[in-house]
Structure 1
Amino acid sequence: MLLLDAALKRLIHQGTLTLTEADGRQRIYGTATPGWPDLGLRLADKGVPGKIARNPSLGFAEAYMDQRVEIEGGDIMDFIGFVRRNNPWDSGRDLDNPGLFARARLAVIGRINRINARSASRRNVAHHYDIDDRLYDLFLDSNRQYSCAYWAEGVTSLEDAQIAKMNHIAAKLALTPRTRVLDIGCGWGGLAIHLHKISGAKVHGISLSKEQVGYARGWAQREGVSDGVTFELIDYRDVVGKFDRIVSIGMFEHVGTRNFPEYFRQCHNLLDPDGVMLVHTIGRAAPPAVTDDFTRKYIFPGGYIPSLSEMVAAVEPNKLMIADCEVLRRHYAPTLRAWFDRCVAQHARIVELFDEKFYRMWLFYLAGAATGFEHASLVNFQLQLVRNRDAVPITRDYIQAAETQYNAQSSAGQPVVARQRDAAHA
């Protein structure tokens, strides 16, 4: 209890946390502050303090999953947000504050975990994406976008924010009906189908998830777009051919740092000399670090969130020019909070599909991620890459113009293809 007591004294400053030990004794941390919550943390047994102190990220997560700790006066989102808000990234304080031995251990784990060899890639993808498909229907939008939405001014719903995200990306790709697009890590196919519908572009999506590829093919058939949108179960390293555009949304986090140079070299070789690539990924506004133990064990084995410096270092030797770089600083937080709220509303159904432990694990994952974008160093990067510096106009005006057109047509429920085709042949 001494280690946990010392940690909470260091972490909690504003607002109060009342810790109730297994024997009923209470300790209060922090100071009552206007605008800050007063929360409680109840420990179910005497082994919990040691478990948390030994490995704060994983120890607390597992104690929460096993119902050995309970949050009082709020939920897990409130609690993690409370701790992170007390220790924002720019404060310089470290939530876990590992000692020398712990830092060395994390460094070793990080080096091993970031390799992400071919033999592990399919297994890592299946761990997260090939679970019961019905889970994702419970909290994702109707386009099954499992990545950061785009909360433009006036956008208030998750559905509209995800459409805005796809239109934002489409605008940066400068699509035409004759464009051939490779979608690396296509998910369930929602983006590929949307890009085809709004532009007429031919899109080929690839993934390592059997469940996702099967779902995407069925979706394209139901929409009647199988002639313009295709999907394949294949590693990006095995793709051959040339494409006018490459888009990769939420996949780069699974590449592995050792494979960054190979990834961009392959994309260079697949991209037409006048082509355009858009990479959308979770990133760090901080120097390179390691994946936390909870995420590595339960959520994304083999996953790694890159720093911009790591991406740029891998881009530069492969003769790809960064034509545009946008940092989405807060957009993922409301996305994740929307997913969290939908999961809470579907508590009984998720427990029916899995169990209570899985439900609490999933909430912990969403809460940790959301508050990481609000108070830690997490952001989203959108890098637009070209081989030819003249592949896109020299100002960004074309992006705004196309995005405005796509958004207007999406709001009206009308296709954009005809107007673009006329313009292309004018």
Structure 2
Amino acid sequence: MNQLLVNYLSRVLVKGSLEFVDPSGKVHRFGDGSGETVRVRVTTNKALRQLFLNPELKLGEAFMDGTFVVEKGSIYDFLAVTLQNIGGGGRTLWARIIYRLRVMTRRVRQWNTPFRAKQNVAHHYDLDGRLYSLFLDSDQQYSCAYFETPETTLEDAQYAKKRHLAAKLALQSGQRVLDIGSGWGGLGLFLANHADVDVTGVTLSEEQHKVSNARAGEQDLAHRTRFLLQDYRSLKSRFDRIVSVGMFEHVGVGHYDEFFKKVRDLLTDDGVMVLHSIGRFDGPGETNSWIHKYIFPGGYIPSLSEVLPAIERAGLKVTDIEILRLHYAETLKAWRERFLARWDEVKALYDERFCRMWEFYLAASETAFRYQDMMNFQIQIVRDQHALPMTRDYIWQSEEALRRRDLAGTRPSLKIAGE
């Protein structure tokens, strides 16, 4: 085994129990022996060299290709034991150099013109629609859920997320609402159904666009919900409320001023926006190279220090910020467990390599939220600070009213179009 890699792992892996089998069959043990032992094998010397030089890209690729094999435990267990020791740091010298170069050139990869943005969205969101139905909740909410208690199920946590966002929007009957990045339509349909508002959703995913409008028709909400296959930057109308969930991560750091200036133009003078996005605790950074190549091309997770100045430059005002710390870790855990339980069905849609790619994606994402300073934030934004009540009481009051409505038995059943 590469002696430099042995020395590095011996220095950083001080907790847990990891057995690393090199291509010659020699077993190297790291950690203090606590917890369940995780055993991994690297099958070729080439893969071993690549792992040492560029682990952020090559670990995922080796797992996909079968040259990095988990013999005891799972890829999640391996990532958990390593990241609990090194967190978001711990890179080798060469890996730090690669990372710094990527940070310096990140705007090129995140230059998301309308054409490139649609290509990037298609790469991930226009996969076979049956894939997402295998592991998401019944409403296909593909973003961080809101776990009100440790016992909350994924279904209830995703429903609670929509309820939480609706309360922060301070909706009034008859208002016009814009959902930027509207997914499969679940949030927009929820708002239209619960608050008697008119909803316009925009998405760049042809698959999501088709499903969303079909669902609106099936729920008899087409008269006040519509989903457009359109870039938000081309919109002209103004809206009383704007919500965006899980879309801002696809904007790109070079487009933040453009995004918030467009929000300002689309928002009425007394309007309110709620922005829900993945964020970083540890300041500006760069997208993991494996995630960028295989999962979210053009994507970037922002820090608040990058977002808030852009809001200010647009002439908008921040009226509330909430940090959701471990909610996404729990969401991803539920998705990963569901995905693994439906492995054979995913394999029938694609192949074994695709299954390993998605297992790695879900496991790496979950461990990032547990051990690598990732979180979610919800920012409430206005043009006029008089647009909302003086205190935050209206949020929990609205949330309680929606909860009482659900407990009274008026919560609608959720389903995907055609089910």
TM over 0.5: same fold?
yes
Structure 1 position 259 matched with structure 2 position 255: yes
The Cα of 1:318 is off from its aligned counterpart by 1.1
Match of 2:223 in 1: 227
- The counterpart of 1:396, out of the listed 380, 383, 392, is 392
For 2:47, the aligned partner's letter is V
Give the distance between the partners of 1:353 and 1:180, measured in 2 at CA. Answer: 39
- Percent identity of equivalent pairs: 42
Give the distance between the partners of 2:349 and 2:244, measured in 1 at CA. Answer: 30
Q: Secondary structure of the residue that 1:139 maps to in structure 2? A: coil
The Cα of 1:98 is off from its aligned counterpart by 4.1
For 2:67, the aligned partner's letter is R
For 1:57, the aligned partner's letter is E
1:37 touches 1:82 (CA, 8 Å); kept in 2?
Answer: no
2:20 touches 2:40 (CA, 8 Å); kept in 1?
Answer: yes
How far does the alpha carbon of each residue in 1:256-304 deviate from its partner, in whole angstroms, 9 at most, with x for none? 1111001000000100100000000000011110111101100000000
For 1:375, the aligned partner's letter is Y
Classify 1:110/1:352 alpha carbon distance in 2 versus 1 (closer, same or farther; 3 Å): same
Structure 1 position 293 matched with structure 2 position 292: no
2:107 touches 2:252 (CA, 8 Å); kept in 1?
Answer: no
Match of 1:67 in 2: 66
Match of 1:124 in 2: 120
Match of 2:417 in 1: none
Q: How does 1:15-414 map to 2 (within 5 A)?
A: 15-33=16-34, 36-89=35-88, 93-95=89-91, 98=94, 101-153=97-149, 155-414=151-410
Q: Secondary structure of the residue that 1:78 maps to in structure 2? A: helix
Q: Secondary structure of the residue that 1:140 maps to in structure 2? A: coil
Give the distance between the partners of 1:413 and 1:7, measured in 2 at CA. Answer: 58
Give the distance between the partners of 1:239 and 1:381, measured in 2 at CA. Answer: 25
Structure 1 position 4 matched with structure 2 position 5: yes
The Cα of 1:22 is off from its aligned counterpart by 2.1
Classify 1:103/1:135 alpha carbon distance in 2 versus 1 (closer, same or farther; 3 Å): closer
For 1:396, the aligned partner's letter is R
Classify 1:268/1:12 alpha carbon distance in 2 versus 1 (closer, same or farther; 3 Å): same
TM-score (norm 2): 0.95
The Cα of 1:54 is off from its aligned counterpart by 1.8
Give the distance between the partners of 1:97 and 1:152, measured in 2 at CA. Answer: 42
The Cα of 1:335 is off from its aligned counterpart by 0.1
Q: Which moved more, 1:42-51 or 1:121-130?
A: 42-51
The Cα of 1:38 is off from its aligned counterpart by 1.5
2:55 touches 2:95 (CA, 8 Å); kept in 1?
Answer: no
How far does the alpha carbon of each residue in 1:50-71 deviate from its partner, in whole angstroms, 9 at most, with x for none? 1211210111111101111111
Match of 1:424 in 2: none
Q: Which moved more, 1:163-172 or 1:286-295?
A: 286-295
Give the distance between the partners of 1:227 and 1:68, measured in 2 at CA. Answer: 54
Classify 1:4/1:411 alpha carbon distance in 2 versus 1 (closer, same or farther; 3 Å): farther
Q: Secondary structure of the residue that 1:23 maps to in structure 2? A: coil
1:198 touches 1:415 (CA, 8 Å); kept in 2?
Answer: no
Q: Which moved more, 1:335-344 or 1:4-13?
A: 4-13
1:57 touches 1:96 (CA, 8 Å); kept in 2?
Answer: no
2:54 touches 2:95 (CA, 8 Å); kept in 1?
Answer: no
Classify 1:9/1:313 alpha carbon distance in 2 versus 1 (closer, same or farther; 3 Å): same
The Cα of 1:179 is off from its aligned counterpart by 1.3
The Cα of 1:150 is off from its aligned counterpart by 0.1
TM-score (norm 1): 0.93
Give the distance between the partners of 1:166 and 1:150, measured in 2 at CA. Answer: 9
The Cα of 1:88 is off from its aligned counterpart by 3.0
Aligned CA RMSD, in angstroms, stands at 1.5
2:53 touches 2:95 (CA, 8 Å); kept in 1?
Answer: no
For 1:340, the aligned partner's letter is R
How far does the alpha carbon of each residue in 1:197-232 deviate from its partner, in whole angstroms, 9 at most, with x for none? 111111100011111111100011111110111110
For 1:16, the aligned partner's letter is S
For 1:308, the aligned partner's letter is L
